Amino acid sequence: MVVRMRRNRSQTAKRRSHHRIIATRLLKCECGALRQNHRACKECGKYGGKIVIDVVAEAKRAARRKTRKDKELRASGQQTESDKETNKELAAAK
């Protein structure tokens, strides 16, 4: 870089003064869980007093995905997550 184009330390520091990390602000939802501003609650699915996310359907969908993944892993001969957990429990019991 040419000397006439060079930025000195104070100019660099002034530019970087806004790069600090800002803590996220958390609010208490109606259900009592903490949530971020302008975001739906992950526990109850409400935003602005209205239910916008069907939490029960999401949980059922996640359970279906997990069972499908476990089934595919067993078919391929690999260990599933539940098998790993039981192996850890057996090792801890010994």
Residue 1 counted as domain residue: no
> So what's the pLDDT on residue 33?
94
Asked whether residue 15 is assigned to any structural domain, the reply reads no
Is pLDDT at 87 greater than 90 in this prediction? no
State which residues form the domain around 68.
25-93
With respect to residue 55, please indicate whether it lies within any of the assigned structural domains: yes
pTM for this model (two decimals): 0.53
The encoded tokens of residue 1 equal: 């870089």
pLDDT at 1 over 70: no
Which residue in this structure is represented by tokens 């000397």? 3
Kind plus residue range of the DSSP H or E element containing 50: strand 50-51
Q: Which tens digits make up the pLDDT trace of 4-26?
A: 888 899 999 999 999 998 888 99
H or E stretch covering 25: none
Other C-beta atoms closer than 10 Å to the C-beta of 35 total 19
51-72 confidence digits (pLDDT tens): 999 999 999 999 999 999 999 9
Say how many domains are in the chain.
1
Is 52 a member of any domain?
yes
User: Which pLDDT belongs to residue 26?
Assistant: 93
pLDDT at 85: 79
Task: Identify which of 15, 18, 9, 44 has the alpha carbon closest to the alpha carbon of residue 29.
Answer: 44
